[in-house]
């Protein structure tokens, strides 16, 4: 059914920390790796080694430069983007075949690939560019929140989280139930002021983004810019004793 559930038991999703993301793209690669070898059709590449290469990815990392007003320094922010598993997911209701659906038990938005006709309308309806039509398979691909990892009892417990979260070296991605106020991810969102992307689109995304912390500001005039400078002053300015005599003698020659 392509109608949305009135409510979901849990709201599983990601919290992405824009403050700590270093833009290494490890999440992009681990996502592509896991989702090519597991659930659903593989994520194909076209002309991978040629000049005009392209491929399907479920997670991509943009980089933005933010220039504050005045003469403050610009900030570079790496910005991973994947499906936000929206509560009011417009991609679900437009689907003519019922292939696109939102799960009642955990809120994950999935595509039943054997029902997908590849019309692309769900990708048209998604404001975030989270869906990509696979050029080889002709069906719509999207983030599954690694549904085949998070419940997989064949994996060690620490691996039962999305591949992108598991791999992130800077701990910029967190996975959990955003419907539960006491969960770690919900606390993180409350503490750091987690935000929605494009709230005006009315999609009510489950995934939240933690804004970058403000950059250190330059000290006011009159203050020493370099806090380490006092500790780094040379201790012995003039040589003493034998070295002092030698220094003076050599100077006179």
Partner 1 sequence: MHPAPSVIFFTTFSGLGFGLLVFLGLGYPGVTGWSAFAFLTIAYVMAVGGLMASTFHLGRPERALKAFTQWRSSWLSREAWCAVGALVLMGLYGAGLVFFGTRVTALGVLGAALSLATVFTTSMIYTQLKTIPRWNMALTPVKFLSLSLAGGGLLAGQLTIALVLLVIAGGVQLLTWKEGDKALAASGTNMATATGLGDRGTVRAFEPPHTGTNYLLREFVHVVGRRHSQKLRLIALVLMTVVPVLLLMLPFSHIIGILAIASHIAGVLTARWLFFAEAEHVVGLYYGKR
Site for partner 1 in 84-123 (CB under 8 A): 90, 93-99, 115-121, 123
Q: How far is CA 171 from the centre of its chain?
A: 10
Asked if 69 is part of the footprint of partner 1 (rule: CB under 8 A), the reply reads yes
Residues 173, 80: contact at Cβ < 8 Å?
Answer: yes
Least distance (Å) between residue 106 CB and partner 1: 21
Least distance (Å) between residue 182 CB and partner 1: 25
Asked if 36 is part of the footprint of partner 1 (rule: CB under 8 A), the reply reads no
Indicate the residue among 98 and 169 with the shorter CB distance to partner 1.
Answer: 98
Q: Residue 202 region, left (φ>0) first, then alpha (ψ -120 to 50), else beta?
A: left
Asked if 79 is part of the footprint of partner 1 (rule: CB under 8 A), the reply reads yes
Question: In terms of Cα–Cα distance, which of 125, 150, 109 is closest to 8?
Answer: 109
Count of residues that bind partner 1 according to CB under 8 A: 71
Q: Which secondary structure element, helix H or strand E, spans residue 79, and what is its range?
A: strand 75-82
Least distance (Å) between residue 86 CB and partner 1: 12
Give the tokens for residue 95: 């689907």
Asked if 37 is part of the footprint of partner 1 (rule: CB under 8 A), the reply reads no
12-17 β-sheet, strand order? 173-177, 12-17, 208-210
Instruction: Work out the angle at residue 148's Cα, subtended by the Cα atoms of residues 146 and 150, and round it to the nearest 5 degrees.
Output: 65
Indicate the residue among 128 and 155 with the shorter CB distance to partner 1.
Answer: 128
β-pairing verdict for 75-82 and 132-133: unpaired
Indicate the residue among 69 and 153 with the shorter CB distance to partner 1.
Answer: 69
State how far the Cα of 177 lies from the Cα of 180, in Å rounded to an integer.
6
202-221: which residues touch partner 1 (CB under 8 A)? 202, 209, 211-212, 214
Q: Residue 204 region, left (φ>0) first, then alpha (ψ -120 to 50), else beta?
A: left
First to last CA, the chain: 98
Q: Which of 5, 36, 60, 192 binds partner 1 (CB under 8 A)?
A: 60
134-173: which residues touch partner 1 (CB under 8 A)? 134-135, 137-140
Which range, of 5-13, 128-136, 167-175, 229-237, touches partner 1 by CB under 8 A?
128-136
Asked if 56 is part of the footprint of partner 1 (rule: CB under 8 A), the reply reads yes
State how far the Cα of 147 lies from the Cα of 105, in Å rounded to an integer.
12
Asked if 195 is part of the footprint of partner 1 (rule: CB under 8 A), the reply reads yes
Which range, of 56-64, 143-151, 163-171, 227-235, touches partner 1 by CB under 8 A?
56-64
Q: Which of 7, 39, 124, 152 binds partner 1 (CB under 8 A)?
A: 124
Indicate the residue among 130 and 150 with the shorter CB distance to partner 1.
Answer: 130
* DSSP for 232-243, written as a single string: GS-S--S--HHH
Least distance (Å) between residue 44 CB and partner 1: 11
């Amino acid at each position: 059914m392509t109608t949305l559930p009135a409510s979901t038991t849990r709201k599983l999703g990601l919290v992405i920390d824009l403050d700590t993301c270093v833009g290494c793209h490890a999440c992009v690669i681990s996502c592509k790796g896991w989702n090519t070898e597991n659930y659903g059709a593989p994520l194909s590449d076209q002309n991978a080694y040629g000049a005009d290469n392209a491929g399907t990815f479920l997670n991509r990392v943009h980089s933005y430069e933010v220039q504050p007003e005045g003469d403050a320094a610009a900030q570079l922010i790496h910005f991973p983007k994947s499906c936000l598993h929206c509560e009011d997911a417009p991609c679900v209701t437009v689907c003519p075949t019922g292939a696109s659906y939102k799960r009642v038990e955990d809120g994950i938005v999935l595509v039943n690939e054997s029902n997908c006709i590849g019309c692309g309308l769900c990708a048209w309806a998604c404001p975030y560019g989270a869906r990509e039509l696979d050029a080889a398979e002709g069906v719509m691909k999207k983030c599954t929140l690694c549904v085949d990892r998070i419940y997989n009892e064949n994996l060690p417990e620490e691996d039962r989280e999305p591949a992108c979260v598991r791999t992130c070296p800077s701990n910029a991605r967190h996975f959990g139930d955003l419907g539960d106020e006491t969960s770690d991810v919900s606390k993180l969102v409350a503490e750091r002021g987690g935000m929605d992307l494009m709230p005006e689109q009315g999609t009510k995304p489950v995934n939240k983004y933690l804004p970058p912390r403000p950059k250190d500001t330059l000290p006011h005039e009159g203050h020493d810019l370099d806090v380490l400078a006092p500790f780094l002053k040379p201790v012995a300015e003039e040589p003493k004793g034998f070295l002092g005599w030698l220094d003076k003698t050599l100077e006179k020659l």
